[in-house]
Amino acid sequence: MDFSPIGDISSLANLLKESQEKENESEAAGKRSLNQPPKPTSETNVKLRGGVSNLADKHAQKPVKNEKDIWDVDELPTQESAAFVQDDRPAPRYEISYKQIVGTEDVFLGMSDKSPSSSDCTHLVVKIHFPNSSMKELDLDVTTNRIKAESKTHRLFTYLPQSVDSTNGKAKYDAKKEVLTVVLPITKEY
């Protein structure tokens, strides 16, 4: 085996030449397949009324409506459609903060591995100010990555900085301060 710099360069040149030849062969095969019609196989194609179609097309077809369903799947709102609703109501003032569960051993003795950073926080707290509103007229919708809160006069739609467990969250309305406080557990992805 040759360990000289010239031998290393020639070995590298041979590797590059081999990869270029393989690339040329795959491009030539791709051009041949574009000129020839695809061959139907029983695994990848299915016979439909209009001819042969891929299985992916079969799954993309409109699902059969169940008689007991109230809405079609197409009629259900998506997260994207909720974000782009035309609404003239102003956004209320809101704050997003982090909450951490600590004990005396953390505060006074520093015995645990917890740090004051947001990576050690367990909950996300969203405080939304709804002036001149009552709890009856508030509407709250929380998913894993966004929050939507509405009243007669204000509408808030925003994405959350971290993924949360929306099913175990808690909401509380303070009528004196006119503040809706939503506490959501943070879901760790690791």
Nearest to 157 by CA among 101, 103, 100, 77: 77
> What average pLDDT does the segment 148-161 reach?
92
- Bigger pLDDT: 124 or 43? 124
- What average pLDDT score do residues 132-140 get? 91
* Fold (CATH) for 73-185: Immunoglobulin-like (2.60.40)
Give, in order, the Cα–Cα distances in Å from 14 to each of 18, 19, 30, 54: 6, 9, 25, 41
Q: pLDDT band at 29, cuts 50/70/90?
A: low
| pLDDT number for residue 48 | 39
Asked whether residue 5 carries a pLDDT value surpassing 70, the answer given is no
CB 90 within 8 A of CB 157: no
At 117 the pLDDT is 66
Q: Is the pLDDT of residue 109 over 90?
A: no
Least confident among 37-41, 59-63, 92-96:
37-41
Q: Give the pLDDT band (50/70/90) at residue 54.
A: very low
Q: Per-domain residue ranges for the chain?
A: 5-60, 73-185
